Amino acid sequence: MEVSTELKNVKPGRIISIDIFRGLTIFTMIFVNDLASVTDIPAWMQHMPADADGMTFVDLVFPAFLFIVGMSIPFSISKRLEKGDSTFLLWKHILSRTLSLLILGVLMVNIGSLNQSATGMNRHLWMLLVFVGAILTWNDYPKAEGEKKYLYKILRSAGIILLVILAAMFRSGTDDNTGWLKPSWWGILGLIGWAYLASAAVYFFFKKTPAAIAGFIAVFIFLYIGEKSGTLRVVNFIAENIVLPGSTIGAHASITTAGVFFSILLFYHSKNLKEKLIRTLVYTLILFLSGYLLRPLYGVSKIYATPAWCLYSAGLCCIIYFILYWIADEKKITGWSDFLKPAGMNPLFAYILPSIVYAILVLTGITFLSDHFGEGLTGIIRSIVYSLIILGITTALTKANVRLRL
């Protein structure tokens, strides 16, 4: 496939289908996360067991978010460069965004291991305050002058101070043997952060050589294989000493980089819809074929982030996205997706909102929903309704200028 070497002729304004895809992914993520607490549901509505060779639609949710993160990278970097950002300012943004995701990821991962007596605080109150601190710190405050400008600075500073205090208070383990915050794993947000950093670096250094970007999909896949097979001892050393699992990072970065390259295929000098369709079909076929050829190595497993799972997921995302692009950007049929757009434009807030609601329900002793709608069809309906409510709250608070920007 021949692709152009510069990002030009991209349609002005936001590409609506990117927000819709992101919003649809967040909605599905909220749904499946809530559904995890429901019993007596079909196997296809659950994650496949780690050692099973296969995947369900639930196993596609996380890679779909990684994929759309990758698709957005060329646009966000190009926009910053067009605004006149220097290389220093661009990398300051990339690294601060990555660090923010890692911090939030580690804080969220440690919630379950919090020792309430040693910390001196109820686990759910600590969790709620973490999210309050996150909102105050990373909220995209409106541009203002005078007193409001200083108020927003005070609120952001208060958020940072609150997070530092909560991190300092945190204790895990037993009362006789407590521990501090630690990245036993990086959490969903942390994994997104590492994958974003890797793919942003690939795009920054090789944006004029799309073939090299495609090559890095293979590089990240081989990073996984190298660690799993024990042939990349340096990667194993890093994984053991700084808790940076090279195989997992490589796997997830392959998905985000696949998204980067898909953006190049669709929006770098694409002449018409037919050309976009052909490129999508050929690229998808390559991803599926590659996944099929690598499947005998480790099978298809979301839990193990196997190469076949990564490549199959990326291929499926290509198909889903192109359908959304055709409907929303080509045919201009967007009314059906209005409820998804706020979550697509404010994904981090939509992602943490269910945890905020859960903490409030526990602290107030409200257990009606979980006590009465926790199994079978009624539980599935509960999860759908709950997810729609979360999107509704996201919409209302986004309009009220609660919008997280890392």
pLDDT for 227 equals 77
Q: What sign does the dihedral 279-75-61-20 (CA atoms) show?
A: negative
Spans of the chain below 50 pLDDT? 1-6, 8-12, 239-241, 243, 245-246
**What pLDDT does 187 receive?**
86
The pLDDT, as a whole number, for residue 174 is 77
Nearest in space to 193 (alpha carbons), one of 247, 132, 256: 256
This prediction has a pTM of 0.91
pLDDT at position 237: 54
> Distance (Å, rounded) from C-alpha 348 to C-alpha 97?
12
Say how far apart CA 321 and CA 39 lie, in whole Å: 31
What lies within 8 Å, CB to CB, of 43 at 6+ separation is: 56
Q: Tokens 């390559």 identify what position?
A: 286
Centroid of chain to Cα 356: 18
Alpha carbon distances (Å) from 158 to 128, 135, 154, 321, 406: 15, 11, 6, 40, 17
The whole-number pLDDT of residue 275 equals 92
For residue 178, the model assigns a pLDDT of 77
Residue type, 343: A
Cα separation of 45 and 97, whole Å? 32
